[in-house]
Structure 1
Amino acid sequence: MAWMLAAAVAVGADGVPPQGWVAVDPPKTGTELECANLSRDYWKVEAAGAGVHLSQANRRRRTAMVGAVLRDGALVGYNHGEFGGSIEWWPRDGGARFELLHVNPVEWTLHRGDAVVAEGLIHLGARRGAVLRFERRDGRRWRIHRLAELDAAPVAALRESENSWLLLLYDGLVRVDLASGRAQRLYRNSDWTYLAPDTIRPLGDGWLLGSARGAIRLEPVAGGGYRERLWVPRQCASLQPPCSCGDP
């Protein structure tokens, strides 16, 4: 299909689907969720100057993450999913290293000179997540503590301001205050495990998330809460068998 070979699709600042795309209700029934989950097409959202682009991608399998690069070394994280993960300190001068085991690093940021890492895992019955702060005590020592506890595993992050870090979880969004450690749940949808969103960019007053089938659009509504729609190429609008877009 010609649309499958198209270049990145520009998203306008007006917050409506790009040309050739439509907004549909998110999948809810078992059949609709299966259509979305088995979809061969996957989309990611990424910054394009001051705007946002949608482009086709493969579902990501995280195997490594290079974290905070500091003046005298780097924190390097490895994430092998259910097979484990770690965060290592590699000093530039060849000095003492350390390794933190039993963590699954996903995203990192810097806050007031400290490295902050979002980590977590979803596998079978395990659903955990946390935000870790790596605080420098001096040139050789670190204080590592759990800045915030998460009730689901993170998959992506978006730095909003000096103190605000937005985390995309497997089942929704949470905003973490990097100064206080307060975690505020903004949105929850357990069906996201089928759509597997793993990229996020701001769009208007809300966000656009790259996912299976297309992109998830979240925007605030009057009185509180958010409205969710699924943006898909027009050819992919059907979530009833036979699913469109060449899905099984």
Structure 2
Amino acid sequence: MVLQIPPIQKEPNVIWEPLPDDYILPDDPVENIQQRSLAAALTDALGSAGFILPEMLIGSNFGLVATINKKIIVKAPDWFYVPQVQSVAVDVIRRSYTQNLEGAAVAVVMEFLSDTEGGELSVRSTPPYGKLYFYERILKVPTYVTYDPYEPSLEVRCLQNEQYTLQQADTNGRFWIPELELFLGIWRGERLCQTTNWLRWWDREGNLLLWSQEKVEQERQRAEQERQRADILAAKLRELGIDPNTLS
């Protein structure tokens, strides 16, 4: 009897090199209209709350680059966050991002689930590489989020001992994202005439981070309430024979 010994898989040789100017980036269409909307809503809430700083890089369907065993590999997550990147010239359009070369490591990646080959939970360790393998073993992203808006189902994996570990939601069904110091959870409602299961942020105290349109509406309601109070006060003064217009 011959003992079968499984081959030892070599650790990939990863280097961080600039993407060649003539490299043709994939231009695959998103798989459904909700992907862009979900990503835009996440970024909009951060911007509205003042969380986005000039040195950060937040993107959607944007190429993250690594050279593995002398082969350029590009993955374009549905949403990602890098805390600090090098600035580029005003007239330069950033085509992609190579961590450790252009700035800090990617801190958070999100993928909205699909049924495609080499998908969001694939651990394929050969080209074209599964996304989970790429984020866990190559980029070593600390927090990897996968979301299915149709279930809806939200999973958060954090890198522990070089492997992803599924995290448990809190009593509100939300997950703490340490890199942003915010909670992430599911919220069903309407944004821009689209009703669905959105991913949303909450702060440490449990306050929902509002979208820009919600903040505008909140300010409109506050101004309307102030106007109504002023009108009531003016009416009472007139009942007392006092002209409110003469008061300073």
Normalised TM-score (structure 1): 0.29
Which structure shows the bigger proportion of residues in strand conformation? 1
Structure with larger RCO (C-alpha < 8 A, sep 6+)? 1
Normalised TM-score (structure 2): 0.29
Which structure shows the bigger proportion of residues in helix conformation? 2
